[in-house]
């Protein structure tokens, strides 16, 4: 195939309405703000990516838009979109942080490459290992009665994995919710816990032990991201597996946590790591040290979900499922032409060229608050 070049890079910040407030140990979400990146080429092939930050976790949509518009565009325009690794290397050198911007650029480049060669992103990054991945839904509505109704509907759809966002209210509220779910559904549901850094180290061990009778599959990020030594102490002190999220952005963080034995599981997110390839590095480091991995996400539309699904599809030792539920079950309206594929409680990884999903440009325009071309 003849060489093609990037001719245009467009960023759009979107604000999308959600069905309910979601509360976390580190803050609430009542609207989803995300950044959509469109890369055009002289071959008429267009790729799409998404940067989905959270200001208390990774950054802002505005900051990531600036990284692309001011610093990335000069080396992207005129470049060969197939040189994904070289362009990622340049992006990493140009701007520190802004990992979501790099994830969006990589996603759009892989979308272009897959469309050009008529293969999926999964094919480009190692091949499909699963095809379908069990879906986890995050129980985070401060109105638990509303959450119970949502859970009942999801159970009808085949969803069996539920992750409780904890630490945003009293400990007794967290215990009550677990008691209620076990009372209603027994052991038929796979329940998990995510504190989103919501506890202080001195209280965390006892609170986790209070939840262990309900058999949670794991407890995620109980303390601050920087309190890695505390994470290690907690991991040694409790029976339930501990998962690191905010403490592990990249492979360097992963190596630090491995040396500390600070977690049993890593949450993989393309937004934290700066793309699919860098998240694969985190997974590989974990595998070498006997640390499992889980498919996490930020507050995303179906575009980022598709990229994340391809990442998880490339990891044969992924056994804990993924949480790409927002496009279907959290947003009032997603921005894809067709619904993000979920069937019988599992994400069905797209198999079409590139990401295998198509954005609805009218919907993108509907929710756009700013555009930079």
**Same domain as 70, residue 169:** no
Whether 207 maps to a domain, the answer reads yes
**Same domain as 177, residue 281:** yes
For 4-23, letters b (16+ CB in 10 Å) and e give: bebeebbbbbbebeeeeebb
**Same domain as 294, residue 149:** yes
**Same domain as 333, residue 296:** yes
Domains in the chain: how many in total? Answer: 2
Which tens digit of pLDDT belongs to each residue from 15-49? 999 988 777 766 777 889 999 999 999 999 999 99
What average pLDDT does the segment 253-275 reach? 98
Whether 74 maps to a domain, the answer reads yes
**Same domain as 55, residue 202:** no
Q: What is the pLDDT of residue 142?
A: 87
What average pLDDT does the segment 118-144 reach? 95
Does this model's pTM top 0.85? My answer is yes
CA separation for the pair 22, 24 (Å, rounded): 7
* Residue 5 pLDDT > 90: yes
Q: What is the pLDDT of residue 215?
A: 97
Whether 1 maps to a domain, the answer reads no
Q: Over the chain, what is the mean pLDDT? A: 95
**Same domain as 144, residue 283:** yes
What average pLDDT does the segment 341-366 reach? 98
**Same domain as 321, residue 291:** yes
Q: What angle do CA 213, 219, 223 make, to 5 degrees?
A: 125
**Same domain as 169, residue 106:** no
CATH number of the domain that residue 40 is part of: 3.30.390.10
* Residue 178 pLDDT > 80: yes
CA separation for the pair 368, 147 (Å, rounded): 29
Q: What is the pLDDT of residue 58?
A: 80
* Residue 99 pLDDT > 80: yes
**Same domain as 255, residue 132:** yes
CATH number of the domain that residue 142 is part of: 3.20.20.120
Whether 329 maps to a domain, the answer reads yes
Q: What is the pLDDT of residue 26?
A: 64
DSSP annotation of 158 reads: T
CA separation for the pair 129, 363 (Å, rounded): 32
Q: What is the pLDDT of residue 23?
A: 74
Q: What is the pLDDT of residue 158?
A: 98
CA separation for the pair 256, 247 (Å, rounded): 10
What average pLDDT does the segment 327-353 reach? 97
Do 246 and 197 form a contact (C-beta atoms < 8 A)? yes
**Same domain as 170, residue 100:** no
Q: 116 forms bridges with which residues in the sheet?
A: none
Q: What is the pLDDT of residue 1?
A: 65
**Same domain as 86, residue 194:** no
List the single range of 53-62, 70-79, 279-288, 291-300 with lowest mean pLDDT: 53-62
Whether 353 maps to a domain, the answer reads no
What average pLDDT does the segment 55-76 reach? 92
* Residue 133 pLDDT > 80: yes
CA separation for the pair 309, 325 (Å, rounded): 11
User: What values do phi and psi take at 129, rounded to 5?
Assistant: -110, -15
Whether 264 maps to a domain, the answer reads yes
The residue with greater pLDDT, 286 or 31, is 286
Whether 68 maps to a domain, the answer reads yes
C-alpha pair distances (Å), 191 with each of 93, 145, 173, 303, 333: 41, 18, 16, 27, 27
Among 59, 89, 92, 78, smallest CA distance to 9 is for: 78
Q: What is the pLDDT of residue 181?
A: 97
Whether 331 maps to a domain, the answer reads yes
Q: Which domain holds residue 296?
A: 123-348
Confidence label for 269 from pLDDT (cuts 50, 70 and 90): very high
**Same domain as 266, residue 329:** yes
């Amino acid at each position: 195939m003849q060489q093609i070049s990037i001719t245009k890079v467009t960023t759009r910040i979107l604000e999308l309405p959600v069905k309910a407030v979601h509360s976390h140990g580190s803050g609430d979400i009542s609207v989803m703000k995300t950044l959509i990146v469109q890369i055009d080429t002289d071959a008429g092939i267009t790729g799409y990516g998404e940067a989905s930050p959270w200001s208390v976790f990774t950054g802002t949509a505005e900051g990531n838009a600036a990284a692309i518009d001011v610093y990335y565009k000069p080396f992207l325009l005129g470049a060969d979109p197939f040189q994904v690794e070289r362009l990622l290397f340049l992006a990493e050198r140009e701007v520190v942080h802004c990992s979501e911007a790099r994830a969006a650029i990589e996603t759009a480049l892989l979308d272009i490459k897959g469309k050009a060669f008529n293969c999926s992103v999964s094919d480009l990054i190692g091949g499909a290992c699963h095809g379908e991945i069990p879906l986890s839904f995050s129980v985070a509505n401060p109105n638990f009665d509303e959450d119970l109704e949502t859970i009942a509907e999801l159970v009808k759809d085949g969803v069996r994995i539920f992750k409780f966002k904890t630490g945003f209210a009293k400990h007794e509220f967290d215990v009550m919710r677990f008691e209620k779910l076990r009372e209603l559904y027994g052991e038929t549901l796979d329940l998990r816990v995510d504190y989103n850094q919501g506890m202080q180290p001195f209280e965390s061990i006892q609170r986790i032990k209070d939840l262990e009778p309900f058999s949670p599959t794991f407890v995620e990020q109980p303390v601050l991201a920087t309190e890695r030594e505390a994470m290690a102490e907690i991991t040694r002190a409790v029976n339930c597996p501990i998962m690191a999220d905010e403490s592990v952005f990249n492979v360097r963080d992963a190596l630090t946590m491995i040396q500390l034995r600070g977690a049993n599981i890593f949450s993989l997110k393309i937004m934290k790591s700066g793309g699919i390839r860098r998240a694969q590095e985190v997974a590989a480091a974990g595998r070498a040290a006997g640390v499992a991995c889980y498919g996490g996400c930020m507050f995303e539309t179906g575009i980022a979900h598709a990229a994340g699904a391809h990442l998880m599809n490339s990891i044969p030792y992924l056994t804990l499922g993924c949480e790409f539920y927002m496009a279907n079950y959290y947003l009032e309206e997603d921005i894809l032409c067709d619904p993000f594929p979920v069937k019988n409680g599992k994400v069905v990884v797209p198999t079409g060229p590139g990401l295998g999903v198509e954005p609805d440009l009218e919907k993108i325009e509907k929710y756009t608050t700013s555009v930079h071309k």
